[in-house]
């Protein structure tokens, strides 16, 4: 291989950052965390509580659990205020009104139509029930004169079928758009095979081979690509439970309309019967899912059955994240938070924030700053106590002033060597005057007031209080460091 070819084969490739820790991010800073934890410990918190408080609040440049929990609550509130559950019913009504209008137009302009047939058709349209569900059922055997009206009516049946399937199988609504009779028959076969497989599981006689055979025949309907029946059950039960919660959240009138129209899905009750059978199997195999919950929605944007089920899945994700981020249950830790759900609901930035908090907690433990005692409680190590003592001593040294000593401070004092700096005299100052600066100030003031060199040579320069400056001297303080051990019974009772 030539040198040029070898050079090309070693060429680097660059792409967008996708996931995981940021390789360019600086290492976690433990000093801020330790200082915050130390302050809480000195205020009376246990080390365990102090660490949890820091993770909850975050740092100066680090968002904490409280911020993530606030964003979760905001998104949940936004979903509830944005949507309503009328989407599918409104779409059906729109298609029905359009079909009836087109049919009336055709009846009016078709001169070849028998007058008796025209009158019967108009009578049928005039006496349609006000309920869209009842009207769709009433028109099931109607002989449409307008091809456009017939097409719109058939679209209602197709829409209902796709929406009902989309409730249980995400993406099915779009996948079956413009579907043929063969496509619908394939879906019916899939549902029949799926129900058979789930009923085998209930009897305890299913095998992995049964699942593999099912996926070989119908795997295109399951983009999650589960590896076994349990994974498939978990995915389907979660979505089916969300669909049931959506149904529970509807008004009684909405539920009745939907149940009546469901029998017209794909033009026959067969689909709804198969889905009812599927829901029963899923509830039996996954009774722990939330099948009875409800969340009323009164927003302005209507959502269909499929999209609405997705919204209720999002709400379930957000409720679980809120509990995980609260860390209020026994044995909770940051590993409990579902990173995939957090990224899905709040974006990749939120999952990066949580990873950083987990790295910070791990770094605190690995660095020997905190450790678990034999009783499981978190404690500060001697190393942490020394670092905490240094920080506290530094704070004391920066703020105290007192007798002469050899400790440097940032304040000017009344003893020690002259620092070379001067300041305007104030009442009570005992420092020596800086004669040069004082006379200079007086000369500058006199010239500014209109005085001349001749007048100053003749009359001299008169000093005023504002002209006087004094020389600053170093401030020296003295401190005493004492270690106090509280051996009272209350300390032992609190585990400190």
- At 204 the pLDDT is 92
Distance between CA atoms of residues 107 and 115, nearest Å = 10
Report the DSSP beta bridge partners of residue 372: 378
Q: How would you write 300-333 as a 3-class SS string?
A: CEECCHHHHHHHHHHHHHHHHHHHHHHCCCCCCC
- At 410 the pLDDT is 47
366 token code pair: 């690995």
- For residues 140 and 260, the answer to whether their CB atoms sit within 8 Å is no
Distance between CA atoms of residues 463 and 196, nearest Å = 108
Strand 301-302 versus strand 83-84 pairing type: parallel
For residue 80, how many other CB atoms are within 10 A of its CB?
A: 15
Residues in the chain: 496
pTM of the complete model: 0.67
Q: How far, CA to CA in Å, does 352 sit from each of 75, 111, 271, 335, 342?
A: 18, 71, 44, 14, 10
- For residues 106 and 153, the answer to whether their CB atoms sit within 8 Å is no
Distance between CA atoms of residues 102 and 160, nearest Å = 21
- At 242 the pLDDT is 92
- Output b/e per residue, 383-398; b: 16+ Cβ within 10 A: ebeebbeeeeeeeeee
Angle at 243 between CA 241 and CA 248, to 5 degrees: 90
Report the DSSP beta bridge partners of residue 433: 470
**DSSP, res 228:** S
- At 100 the pLDDT is 94
Distance between CA atoms of residues 351 and 337, nearest Å = 10
The pLDDT profile of the chain, 496 residues, written as one tens digit per residue, is: 455 555 545 556 666 555 555 566 666 667 777 777 777 777 777 777 777 788 888 877 778 889 999 999 999 999 988 988 888 888 999 999 999 999 999 998 988 888 888 899 999 999 999 988 889 988 988 999 999 999 999 999 888 888 888 888 888 888 788 778 888 888 899 999 999 999 999 999 999 999 999 999 998 889 889 999 999 999 999 999 999 999 999 988 888 888 888 887 877 788 888 999 999 999 999 999 999 998 888 888 888 888 888 999 999 999 999 998 988 877 778 888 999 999 999 998 888 888 888 888 787 777 777 776 666 666 777 777 777 777 767 766 666 554 444 544 445 555 556 777 888 888 877 788 888 888 888 888 888 888 887 887 787 888 888 888 888 877 666 667 777 766 665 554 455 5
Distance between CA atoms of residues 308 and 17, nearest Å = 32
Phi, psi (5° rounding) for residue 39?
A: -65, -40
**DSSP, res 59:** -
- For residues 414 and 430, the answer to whether their CB atoms sit within 8 Å is yes
Report the DSSP beta bridge partners of residue 422: 471
Q: How many CA within 13 A on the CB side of residue 428?
A: 2
Burial class (CB in 10 A: 0-12, 13-18, 19+), 121: buried
Phi, psi (5° rounding) for residue 413?
A: -130, -165
Q: Where are the domains of the chain?
A: 86-296, 415-474
- For residues 352 and 379, the answer to whether their CB atoms sit within 8 Å is no
Angle at 7 between CA 4 and CA 8, to 5 degrees: 90
For residue 93, how many other CB atoms are within 10 A of its CB?
A: 18
């Amino acid at each position: 291989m030539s040198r040029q070819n070898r050079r090309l084969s070693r060429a680097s490739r660059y792409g967008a950052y996708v996931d995981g820790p940021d390789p360019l991010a600086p290492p976690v800073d433990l000093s801020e965390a330790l200082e915050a934890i130390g302050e809480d410990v000195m205020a009376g918190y246990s080390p365990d509580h102090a660490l949890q408080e820091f993770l909850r609040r975050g740092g100066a440049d680090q968002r904490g659990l409280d911020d993530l929990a606030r964003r979760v609550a905001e998104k949940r509130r936004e979903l509830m205020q944005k949507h309503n559950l009328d989407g599918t019913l409104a779409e059906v009504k729109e298609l029905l009104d359009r079909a009836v209008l087109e049919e009336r137009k055709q009846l009016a302009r078709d001169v070849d139509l028998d007058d008796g047939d025209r009158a019967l058709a108009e009578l049928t349209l005039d006496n349609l029930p006000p309920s869209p569900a009842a009207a769709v059922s009433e028109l099931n055997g109607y002989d449409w004169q307008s091809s456009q009206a017939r097409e719109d009516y058939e679209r209602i049946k197709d829409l209902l079928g796709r929406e009902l399937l989309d409730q249980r199988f995400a993406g099915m609504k779009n996948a079956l758009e413009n579907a043929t009779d063969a496509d619908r028959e394939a879906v019916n076969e899939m549902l029949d095979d799926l129900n058979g497989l789930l009923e085998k599981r209930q009897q305890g006689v299913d095998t992995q081979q049964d699942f593999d055979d099912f996926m070989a025949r119908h795997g295109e309907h399951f983009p999650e690509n589960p590896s076994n029946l349990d994974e498939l059950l978990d995915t389907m039960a979660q979505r089916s439970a969300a669909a049931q919660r959506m149904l529970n959240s509807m008004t009684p009138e909405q539920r009745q309309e939907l149940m009546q129209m469901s029998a017209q899905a794909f033009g026959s009750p067969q689909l709804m019967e198969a889905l009812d059978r599927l829901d029963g199997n899923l509830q039996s195999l996954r009774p722990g899912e939330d099948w009875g919950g409800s969340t009323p929605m009164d927003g302005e944007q209507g959502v269909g059955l499929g999209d609405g089920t997705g919204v209720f899945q999002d709400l379930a994700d957000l409720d679980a994240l809120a509990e995980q981020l609260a860390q209020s249950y026994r044995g909770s830790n940051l590993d409990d938070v579902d990173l995939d759900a957090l990224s899905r609901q709040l974006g990749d930035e939120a999952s990066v924030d949580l990873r950083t908090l987990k790295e910070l907690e791990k770094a605190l433990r690995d660095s020997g700053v905190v450790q678990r005692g034999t009783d499981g409680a978190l404690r500060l190590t001697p190393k942490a106590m020394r670092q905490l003592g240094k920080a506290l001593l530094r704070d004391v040294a920066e703020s105290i002033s007192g007798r002469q000593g050899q400790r440097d401070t940032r304040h000017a004092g009344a003893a020690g060597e002259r620092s070379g700096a001067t300041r305007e005299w104030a009442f009570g100052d005992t420092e020596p005057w800086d004669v040069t600066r004082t006379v200079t100030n007086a000369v500058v003031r006199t010239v500014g007031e209109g005085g001349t060199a001749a007048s100053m040579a003749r009359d001299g320069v008169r000093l005023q209080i504002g002209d006087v400056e004094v020389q600053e001297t170093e401030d020296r303080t003295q401190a005493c460091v004492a270690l106090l051990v509280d051996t009272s019974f209350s300390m032992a009772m609190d585990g400190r």
